[in-house]
Amino acid sequence: MKPIKIERHRAGQARRKRQGVYLRERVRLAAIARYAALTLAGIMLFRAGQARAMTERGYAAVGGEVFALFLPAYYFIISKLARDVIADKQNGSKND
């Protein structure tokens, strides 16, 4: 990590100098495509669940099918958990 450089512009006003790290450099295009696909899949699952629930209930309401919209968040949490568990096992964690 680069050290933060301070520039003085006027008396008493210090500003951080730009680090030169852009969002495009930090986020890979594959990750953006993956989460966009998960979002679209969640929307399609929600719509299918909503149509199915409408035929069973007979009236329009939102129930458990709304959790399909959280598919990208579920993927992020579960993949992060799996990576952490694998890293702990490889490092020989003594907490077990």
Share of the chain above pLDDT 70, in %: 70
Q: What is the DSSP letter of 15?
A: E
Instruction: Let me know how many helices (H) and strands (E) the chain has, helices first.
Output: 3, 2
pLDDT at 13 over 60: no
Domain regions of the chain by residue span: 27-91
* Position 43 pLDDT exceeds 90: yes
Annotate the chain with three-state secondary structure. Answer: CCCCCEEEEECCEEEECCCCCCHHHHCCHHHHHHHHHHHHHHHHHHHHHHHHHHHHHCCCCCCHHHHHHHHHHHHHHHHHHHHHHHHHHHHCCCCC
Kindly report the pTM of this predicted structure: 0.60
Residue 27 has a pLDDT of: 76
Place of tokens 């952490």: 84
Position 81 scores a pLDDT of 96
Q: For 8-12, 34-38, 51-55, which range has the lowest pLDDT when averaged over its residues?
A: 8-12
Which of 39 and 28 is assigned the larger pLDDT?
A: 39
State what percent of residues in the chain have pLDDT above 90: 45
Beta strands in the chain, from DSSP E residues, in sequence order: 6-10, 13-16
pLDDT tens digit string along 63-80?
888 999 999 999 999 999
